[in-house]
Amino acid sequence: MKRIGVFTSGGDAPGMNAAIRAVVRQAHALGVEVIGIRRGYAGMIQGEMVPLGVRDVANIIQRGGTILLTARSQEFLTKEGRAKAYAKLQAAGIEGLVAIGGDGTFRGALCLVEEHGMPVVGVPGTIDNDLYGTDYTIGFDTAVNTALEAIDRIRDTAASHERVFFIEVMGRNAGFIALDVGLAGGAEVIAVPEEPVDPKAVAEVLEASQRRGKKSSIVVVAEGAYPGGAEGLLAAIQEHLQVEARVTVLGHIQRGGSPTAKDRILASRLGAAAVEALVGGASGVMVGEVEGEVDLTPLKEAVERRKDINRALLRLSQVLAL
């Protein structure tokens, strides 16, 4: 294998640039050319490609976002669109791909493998941490720390005004961010999609806190934990609260910013491992880190198997909220 492509797709995640850097430099060390594909699958279809050398990826390890840009592509969802993308890859002499992204990115990559025989190795880059086959995904640690800093600031205001704050974090189908942020931030309640949320039970927890003398509380809500998110949950229990309550939606602030050391190291390790796997003949797999070791998981398994949330931590958060 003499020439490979690398691209980022779907939602951006802090650490994607560190992964791109690692791909380019590991490939250079192995004597393999790298072509950067801009704007994900949309750019692949349009042939938006640029050669990447070791100097092209200098001074990006600390940057959030992705220098290759990212986009959604409705056309790639069709067989005709994927055939166009494959034709562009062939024309550019690309013999294999490193796909950096999440669930949607890997589903698209799997189609290229199955329909056109294009070798692809995935690198898990998503703040949601919802991919099976890796303990952590690139961007998760940064997102947690970004959200935690915001919650620490909000807690100061909550205490000063004796209010309850319902804080919504990202996580439409997975509650990993909510769980880690809630536990680290001392939240009284953590609502995640993996567990049914009973508004009455949430109200009882907050009422019990008030009876114990607490004048302010934090409720962390993953966006997909309850219909309407944090706003919907507050509306469902508003009449039971004896103190003022406010909602803060952290939104896309969780995606941006310079990646933490942990994300930079994870991205560097997995980006390099992806190149080694691809050049070594692997395809249709995702590189991940499991118990400190690099592991390969079939892409199909990575996107179809559900990654379980740590329910022991969820129970611990309930104990520590007393």
CA nearest to 154, candidates 170, 169, 136: 169
The CA distance from 115 to 94, in Å, is 16
80 belongs to an annotated ligand binding site: no
**Is 93 assigned to a binding site?**
no
Report which of 208, 147, 153, 199 is spatially closest to residue 178, judged by C-alpha positions.
Answer: 147
CA distance linking residue 100 with residue 206, whole number of Å: 41
Does the annotation list 253 as a binding residue? yes
Residue 63 in marked binding region: no
Closest CA to 308 of 141, 132, 138, 165: 132
Q: Note whether 96 and 109 are within 8 A (CB).
A: no
Annotated binding residue 103: yes
Going by C-alpha positions, the residue among 167, 170, 190, 185 that lies closest to residue 253 is: 170
**126 a known binding residue?**
yes
212 annotated binding-site participant = yes
Q: Is 186 annotated as a binding residue?
A: yes
C-beta separation of 164 from 316 below 8 A: no
254 is in an annotated binding site: yes
Q: 107 among the known binding-site residues?
A: no
Binding site annotation covers 22? Answer: yes
Query: 230 with 167: CB under 8 angstroms?
Result: yes
Q: How many CA atoms lie within 13 A of 213 on its CB side?
A: 0
Task: Please check if 72 is assigned to a binding site.
Answer: yes
Q: Is residue 128 annotated as a catalytic residue, yes or no?
A: yes
216 labelled as ligand-binding? Answer: yes
Distances in Å between the alpha carbon of 65 and those of 15, 34, 44, 206, 299? Answer: 8, 20, 19, 38, 24
128, 130, 141, 263: the active-site residue:
128
State the binding site for substrate: 126-128, 163, 170-172, 223, 246, 252-255
Q: Which residues does the annotation mark as catalytic?
A: 128
State the binding site: 11, 21-25, 72-73, 102-105, 126-128, 155, 163, 170-172, 186-188, 212, 214-216, 223, 246, 252-255
State the binding site for ATP: 11, 72-73, 102-105
State the binding site for ADP: 21-25, 155, 186-188, 212, 214-216
State the binding site for Mg(2+): 103
